[in-house]
Amino acid sequence: MSAPLPENEVIITGLLQRLAMLRGWSSRTTTSYRSDLLHADAFFLSHQSSLMQADSGAILAYLAELGRSGLQSTTIQRRRSALSTWFTWLQDQQLREDHPARHLPKLHKSRPLPKLMSERDVERLLASPETEDAVGLRDRCMLELLYATGVRVSELVSLRRGQLDLEAGLVRVIGKGNKERVVPFGEEAGRWLQQWLLVRPVQPPSPYLFAGRGGREMTRQNFWLRIKHYATVAGIRPLPSPHTLRHAFATHLLNHGADLRAVQMLLGHAHVTTTEIYTHVSRARMHDLVNRSHPLGG
């Protein structure tokens, strides 16, 4: 015969079942709420309180403990949301007069690390377009320039012929907030640009370096479909996002010893803290390399 449940757990489970029935929750949602609330109750009980009596100070202490435990911000936010739903319902049912979780400070979500694309996968992606026809040559040139400069896809598709200085190996980019920056590109991208300019259609007339159908500006969505197609052809999984080559540009530069401030300028980031996320990606890659390659790495 199994041991009886603690009194608090019985009360919480019973009240939660009523709440779930009123809100039409699935069994999975109900189980998730029960787990989160019982976790909180265990903390409160260890601090001379409970889920029924906890005040805002106890809740803040609980959230602080969750933060110190290294949980992802999404998990902390979910548990916080469960508490808010719980106390709202207790107040609605006149089981509590106050709502201790109503005016808690906002949580700052941690930024997810950008998806990392290896240098080998980048090479395979760049080599995927069939460059015998104009469309394939255009796409190869766009991919090369995207990886060579780290520009945003929106900046790439809006490039005009006058923004390109082929001799100097520079491209003038109009970024967010209409801010302008000049970004260099290497010889490989320069060779593909030379080839593209030789066959670039002049009819219908278009100011865009890489025009879409009818000479119009290509959309970000259309170019993303092109990237997705070439990644599929190259057998790259997971499929890259529109910003993957920009992320690869930054990460690979840092992997090869580039200065963080220089990468910030090339990417057009207003604050270096935005660029610093790539140092985490770079370090994560180095740890993975050690773990996979060192005899005692793992």
Based on DSSP, count helices (H) and strands (E) in the chain, helices before strands.
Answer: 13, 3
Instruction: Tell me if residue 55 falls in helix, strand or coil.
Output: coil
Q: Given 115, 226, 229, 243, which residue is catalytic?
A: 243
Answer yes or no: 152 catalytic: yes
Catalytic, out of 79, 80, 138, 246: 246
β-pair partners for 182: 172
CA atoms within 13 A on the CB side of 18: 10
The alpha carbon dihedral of 77, 83, 85, 87 has a sign of negative
Of the residues 138, 140, 152, 252, which is catalytic? 152
**Strand (E) or helix (H) holding 184:** strand 180-184
Q: Which two tokens stand for residue 8?
A: 């608090």
278 is catalytic: yes
Instruction: Report the interhelical angle of 7-23 vs 27-46 (nearest 10°).
Output: 150
- Give me the amino acid identity at 209: L
Active site residue 99: no
Instruction: Please confirm, yes or no, whether 246 is among the known catalytic residues.
Output: yes
- Report the distance separating Cα 41 and Cα 293, nearest Å: 45
Of the candidates 224, 145, 218, 245, the one whose C-alpha atom is nearest the C-alpha of residue 188 is 145
Catalytic residue among 176, 179, 216, 261: 176
* 109 classed as catalytic: no
Rounded to an integer, what distance in angstroms lies between the CA atom of residue 25 and that of residue 273?
41
| Residue from 43, 32, 162, 50 nearest 96 by CA | 50
Contact 166, 250 (CB under 8 A): no
How many Cβ atoms are within 10 Å of 236's Cβ, its own excluded? Answer: 21
Nearest to 235 by CA among 151, 135, 96, 125: 125
243 tagged catalytic: yes
Terminal Cα-to-Cα distance of the chain (whole angstroms): 44
Active-site positions? 152, 176, 243, 246, 269, 278
